[in-house]
Chain A
Amino acid sequence: MNSTNRSGAVHVQGVSKRYGNVTAIHELDLKIEDGSYCCLLGPSGCGKTSLLRMIAGHETPTTGLISIGSVDVTQLAPSLRGTAMMFQSYALFPHLSVADNVAFALKMRGQGEVERRDRARELLTKVALEAYADRFPSQLSGGQQQRVALARALITNPKVVLLDEPLSALDEHLRIRMRAELRQMQRELGITFIHVTHSQLEAIALADKVVVMTQGRIEQAASAREIFASPRNAHVARFIGGQNVIAGEVQAVHGSEVLLRSAGGEQLHIASAASQPDIGSAAQAAVRRDRISVERVLPSGRHAPDNTLSGNVDAIEYQGSFVKVTVNVKSGEEFVAQLSDEQFFATPLRVGERVHVCWRVEDSLLLEGAPAMGAAVASSISTTAAPLLRPGRVAALT
């Protein structure tokens, strides 16, 4: 391995993963820049962990190429790739002390005990756990275990650190704090971090690049801002949250604006990036939830908004700094307006009231792809709930 090439840029080309006739991951292409923080985001079963493990080398792709730096690592063993993985369960060796856990990789390489100990202490100091060097993993809290796992991964000076849902096992407060620590660590070290998560908020808070995946495909790989503000298709829009999805028929195309006729017959003016959809084709649009105003009286005249839909208030949910108002606009999907608490409590709405939701053209976006047949309840979050009382399943719980 070329030691002068310290680049941790990861390039995934045409990678797929098949188990028998089940395809877990369809041909993927992905480029991750050296020294960036990348989050693989998606619901359970979307393939994000598989992809991570293939980059790590714990699983082999069925087809395709993976390179790190400019080295093809597809057939290389995990320890030869310059990667280090942090497992979801941390996988700290229960029979070794914290220091021995951290120094493990060095022991495997045959380094002397004094050197190992010193280096381990260095890293433990970095994660603020020096005082716990001689404790055992079972004596540490979740947050502490995670930091030991990180220290253990970093001791080999990897170019890429792979984290498999590192924050899932922690409770809310700890999660937010550890998030910041991870980001800071990555900035300090300047190496590539690839982090798998199913939490949208976590992904957009941490990542330079967010890769949204569903069912073995990459829906969109872009900066957090782009994913949130300009989702590419309905899957991304729904999963990231913060956007409503409306289906309709294309009536006309005027430059960078598209006229869409909604299911209820309303005319909507939607911004379209540069696409030229066919007249008469079915299309979908995203509308930012926090850029919607809710009116009791239909505004008209010169200050009439670009887009209006009417309906009854279905639900109101208080969220502290904002209030979620769900309105039934007969689009077949949930339509939510997020009002700041000041806005809402100025003239509070009531469930059942008839209101008009309005937004400007620039706050909506035409999405790629046609709506699915029977666009009704879209659940991009797949639920695999095993029936609790099926005996075999329960008996298998250890």
Chain B
Amino acid sequence: MNAVSDMRRKSLLTMLQAAPLVAVLLVFFGVPMMTVIVVSFCDYEHARILPTFTFDNYADLLRSDATLRLYLGSIKFTLFAWALTLAIGFTVAYFLVFHVEGVILQMSLFLVCTIPFWTSNIIRMISWIPFLGREGLFNHALADLGVIHRPLDFLLFSDFSVILAYVHLYTLFMVVPIFNAMARIDKRLLEAARDAGASRWQTVRQVVIPLSRTGIALGSIFVVALTMGDFFVVKVMSGGQSSSIVAAMYNEIAGLQFPPAAASAVVLTAVVMAFVAAILRVVDVRRELIG
């Protein structure tokens, strides 16, 4: 048996194993993305795409006030959602990893947190409506307790409800990676920090946060991508008051105006990628994941 041809056979086999994944990703992700980019440079007439090269779509997009407003709005939501999901996700993960004793209990509680994630996002989102509305459960409860005399308006169909929904839906995407990263921390490091005189807060800042930064980075990437690219949460939870970038794009698609929609998609993708690249610059995720 020839060692060299054996090695060549092995590397061929390895490539074959990776081939299905590569094929699906290239054909159904790579190519479509190329198509979007190409279409974004095309001109259009009513519902037809004309194969002429033009920068018009981008020019219109970037010059429009609406675009700026939409982006600022989305970025505002994203920042709030990110900050809140990070704070909550980190705290929950910290509790599960460092304060819960026994792996079985830890895993069970972790599952308890993740199971809602496995049910439809839309359902979970709209479940807030009967809860937060003027006639909703929350207002009724507060009124019964005598805390308020008039139902709280801001709870629903406002910025508050949008951010609330984001936090409700996406905190899990923070909890899971941070949980994973924290679970790998050697608990004796915390003991060593305590021995050296660090307070609990200092230990968290100096030991836990740096060592779980991969999880934080991954979670942040997920949350930012999801909130910037969202369209149904904003639409429903703001009651139509706010729109999102993607919602505007969706309208264009519905109107069969593909090139502007494509341009919008490309610009948004660029912005999201910029965020992601910034995060990746701080933490090299790939090395930590694959090792």
Q: Does a CB–CB distance below 8 Å link A and B in the complex?
A: yes
B291 pairs with A391, CB closer than 8 A: no
Residue of B nearest to A398 (CB): B184
- Docked CA distance A255–B287 (Å): 63
A395 pairs with B1, CB closer than 8 A: no
Q: Which of A60, A76, A388, A395 has the most CB of B within 10 A?
A: A395
What is the CB-to-nearest-CB distance from B202 to chain A, in angstroms, rounded to a whole number? 15
Mask, A51-94, CB within 8 Å of B = 1, is: 00000000010000000000000011100000000000000000
B1 pairs with A394, CB closer than 8 A: no
Mask, A325-344, CB within 8 Å of B = 1, is: 00000000000000000000
Q: Which residues of A contact B189 (CB under 8 A)?
A: 388-389, 394
Q: Which of B1, B2, B287 contacts A392 (CB 8 A)?
A: B287
B3 pairs with A75, CB closer than 8 A: yes
What is the CB-to-nearest-CB distance from A12 to chain B, in angstroms, rounded to a whole number? 17
B1 pairs with A391, CB closer than 8 A: no
B65 at the interface (CB under 8 A from A): no
A397 at the interface (CB under 8 A from B): yes
B211 at the interface (CB under 8 A from A): yes
A396 at the interface (CB under 8 A from B): yes
B2 pairs with A395, CB closer than 8 A: no
What is the CB-to-nearest-CB distance from B1 to chain A, in angstroms, rounded to a whole number? 6
- Docked CA distance A389–B2 (Å): 45
- Docked CA distance A394–B211 (Å): 8
Residue of A nearest to B2 (CB): A75
Q: Which residues of A contact B288 (CB under 8 A)?
A: 392, 395-396
- Docked CA distance A120–B65 (Å): 79
What is the CB-to-nearest-CB distance from A13 to chain B, in angstroms, rounded to a whole number? 17
- Docked CA distance A137–B210 (Å): 37
Q: Which residues of B contact A395 (CB under 8 A)?
A: 181, 184-185, 211, 214, 288
Contacting A at CB under 8 A, from B104-155, are: none
Residue of B nearest to A397 (CB): B184
B213 at the interface (CB under 8 A from A): yes
What is the CB-to-nearest-CB distance from B7 to chain A, in angstroms, rounded to a whole number? 9
Contacting A at CB under 8 A, from B32-61, are: none
Mask, A215-252, CB within 8 Å of B = 1, is: 00000000000000000000000000000000000000
Q: Which residues of A contact B2 (CB under 8 A)?
A: 75
B186 at the interface (CB under 8 A from A): yes
The dominant DSSP class at the A interface is: loop
- Docked CA distance A395–B291 (Å): 9
A391 pairs with B210, CB closer than 8 A: yes
- Docked CA distance A122–B30 (Å): 59
B210 pairs with A397, CB closer than 8 A: no
Q: A394-B184, A395-B214 are in contact. Are A76 and B291 (CB under 8 A)?
A: no
Q: A60-B3, A75-B3 are in contact. Are A396 and B210 (CB under 8 A)?
A: no
Q: Which residues of A contact B181 (CB under 8 A)?
A: 395
Q: A389-B189, A397-B186 are in contact. Are A76 and B1 (CB under 8 A)?
A: yes
Residue of A nearest to B181 (CB): A395
What is the CB-to-nearest-CB distance from B161 to chain A, in angstroms, rounded to a whole number? 37
Q: Which residues of B contact A389 (CB under 8 A)?
A: 189
- Docked CA distance A394–B189 (Å): 10
A394 pairs with B185, CB closer than 8 A: yes
- Docked CA distance A396–B186 (Å): 11
- Docked CA distance A388–B210 (Å): 14
Contacting B at CB under 8 A, from A366-398, are: 388-389, 391-392, 394-398
B210 pairs with A77, CB closer than 8 A: no
A77 pairs with B1, CB closer than 8 A: yes
- Docked CA distance A398–B184 (Å): 6
Q: Which residues of B contact A76 (CB under 8 A)?
A: 1
Contacting A at CB under 8 A, from B184-199, are: 184-186, 189
Residue of A nearest to B284 (CB): A392
- Docked CA distance A243–B166 (Å): 71
A396 pairs with B291, CB closer than 8 A: yes
Residue of A nearest to B213 (CB): A391
What is the CB-to-nearest-CB distance from B13 to chain A, in angstroms, rounded to a whole number? 16
Q: Which residues of B contact A398 (CB under 8 A)?
A: 184
- Docked CA distance A254–B206 (Å): 67
Q: Which residues of A contact B210 (CB under 8 A)?
A: 391
What is the CB-to-nearest-CB distance from A54 to chain B, in angstroms, rounded to a whole number? 12
B186 pairs with A394, CB closer than 8 A: yes
Q: Which residues of A contact B287 (CB under 8 A)?
A: 392
Mask, B1-33, CB within 8 Å of A = 1, is: 111000000000000000000000000000000
- Docked CA distance A76–B3 (Å): 9
Contacting B at CB under 8 A, from A340-361, are: none
Q: A391-B213, A397-B184 are in contact. List 12 more A-B contacts (CB 8 A).
A: A60-B3, A75-B1, A75-B2, A389-B189, A391-B211, A392-B288, A394-B186, A395-B181, A395-B211, A395-B214, A396-B184, A397-B186
A-B contact pairs, 9 of them (CB 8 A): A75-B2, A77-B1, A388-B189, A391-B210, A391-B213, A392-B287, A394-B184, A394-B185, A395-B184
